[in-house]
Amino acid sequence: MAATVPKKVTDAVAALHDVVSSIEGHLLELWDFRKELDGELQPLESARLNLALSESATILFCMYLKTRGVGDNANPVKKELERLQLYKTKVSKVADKQKGPKAPTVSLNVSAANRFIDHAIPDLSTEQRQRLQRKAADWKSKGEQQGPSKRQRPSAAESAKLFLEKAKAELEGKVLESRRIA
């Protein structure tokens, strides 16, 4: 006696197959279109597009493995999804940096402030001047004076662009490898 699969199940599998085929076709079109857009997109937009394509391809491959009976714990794609989540976090951090600081940052140059006060109030007594100088020395010893940085750092935009170029190159390599495997 042969076991038959209920029509409801076969219909659901056929519908899933149609949807997955449609998604795969759209992803391939987007992959080809991405190559055309490569020079036109900003680095952040390009990284987001590559990340979305990589995540979509990885999820489709994960679905394929599930249909073949590969469990979640033994699934090698799980590590890839975690890696993509890490890149998603990095890209969102870069996007936040490009938006600028959340609150304006203020620093105080104590020496300059003391000079302003000293010249603004010329009739300070020697005791008042000494207290002012002691306060300035206390601030300097605590490291609260902010002066120009000795080491020039690259701007946030330059750092973001460099990161996104590296991430893009790595993601493109991984996506191409996963397409060859499937």
| 100 vs 9, residue with greater confidence | 9
pLDDT category at 90 given cuts 50, 70, 90 is very high
The answer on pLDDT for 86 being more than 90 is: yes
Listed by start position, the domains of the chain span 7-97+156-181, 110-142
Per-residue pLDDT averaged across 50-72, rounded? 79
pLDDT recorded at residue 1: 45
Q: What sections of the chain are H helices per DSSP?
A: 7-37, 43-67, 77-99, 110-120, 126-142, 156-181
Q: How confident is the model at residue 87 (pLDDT cuts 50, 70, 90)?
A: very high
Q: What is the pLDDT of residue 103?
A: 65
Q: What is the mean pLDDT of the chain?
A: 75
- Report yes or no: 27 and 53 within 8 Å, Cβ to Cβ: yes
Start-to-end CA span in the chain (Å): 36
Q: Is the pLDDT of residue 55 over 80?
A: yes
What percent of the chain is modeled with pLDDT above 90?
A: 4
- If 0-12 CB within 10 Å is exposed, 13-18 middle and 19+ buried, where does residue 107 land? exposed
Rg (CA), the chain: 30
80: which 2 tokens?
Answer: 């890839």
Residue 43 has pLDDT above 90, yes or no: no
User: Residue 100 has what pLDDT?
Assistant: 72
pLDDT of 109 strictly over 70: yes
CA dihedral 58, 78, 159, 161 (to 10 degrees): 0
